[in-house]
Structure 1
């Protein structure tokens, strides 16, 4: 049982890794790292091993022109390889096997933006209670730098840090991207593939 991100109460217990025919595990992977460190690109490479259909759960919303252009570019890059599902808030209802969830920080930003901060814990508890097989979750490691000056930014950073710790505990494999290099920091998968 893991403590809640805000209340400290225990959350649902984690499901065990599931075994495929032939003894190969289906893997739940968390990829973390700094901005533009190669997280999403590495997730796309790893997901090529997923059986089709592969899905991409996008949490970004186009709040401005630059973000709209970025979203369009990313959609075009993965168009033929993934079915894109856009869900900025209720990610727990859209999780499926053979999926990339990209990304937790934008989802958390949306939850703050739409005044749904009170339901963050419940959503994460539901995500962890049933992590699908063959899922890659992309997040950011924002707590490795400076401490923000304003209370809202500190609350956001603290919340994301606690969510990341819970997701890392729930996943079979955790990869830290550093300057485009994948560093495996947790691996409970038999084949030890990065």
Structure 2
């Protein structure tokens, strides 16, 4: 499988690792496409987007797509695709009015498509279920929906890594780990 999932908290090293993977592919002569899902909704997000842009070479292609990841990935003929990130993609779909079942469906279809791609895909997402219990219905819905999206992509991925403090822990199927 060509799909790798990088999951972790804020500033855990996910994006840095993805960029490093991109540099390694680029050095080997492969094309690299960075698929960004972040909407520039305020000054802080604009600064974050600009910081991410400055961290990657201008020789990498960039696609800014907030909703249709499947079409964006399909448009890349070859080379590594880095998707940054499922966290914002999920919130974008929620803000578009998709219900939880529709989001799960599109996540499942898109993850399967990426897993079947001939060339590698690295996807970044946040683990938001380890923090404080959200005090709003929307916050709880987002946490739960992103949890399902992350599980879907992790199940489709050949490799899933949990990033903590710049270090990675490989994630395994719990039933396989238990020998069942």
Query: Do they superpose with TM above 0.5?
Result: yes
**Alpha-carbon distance between aligned partners in 1 of 2:90 and 2:109, rounded to the nearest angstrom:** 15
Aligned residues between the structures:
162
What residue in structure 1 maps to residue 177 of structure 2? none
Q: What TM-score, normalized by structure 2, do the two folds share?
A: 0.83
**Alpha-carbon distance between aligned partners in 1 of 2:129 and 2:62, rounded to the nearest angstrom:** 29
Q: Is the 8 A contact 2:37 2:89 kept in 1?
A: yes
1:115 paired to 2:97: yes
Deviation per residue, 1:116-155 (Å, 9 max, x gap): 3363133213212311231100000000122111111111
Which of 108, 122, 125 pairs up with 1:125?
108
1:29-40 residue pairs with structure 2 within 5 A? 29-40=4-15
Bigger proportion of residues as helix: 2
Gaps of 5+ in 1: 1-16, 18-26, 188-194
Higher RCO (CA-CA < 8 Å; seq separation 6+):
2
What residue in structure 1 maps to residue 176 of structure 2? none
Structure 1 range deviating more: 177-186 or 36-45:
177-186
**Alpha-carbon distance between aligned partners in 2 of 1:77 and 1:175, rounded to the nearest angstrom:** 21
Gaps of 5+ in 2: 174-180
- Superposition CA RMSD, Å: 1.8
Cα offset, 1:81, TM superposition: 4.4
What residue in structure 1 maps to residue 178 of structure 2? none
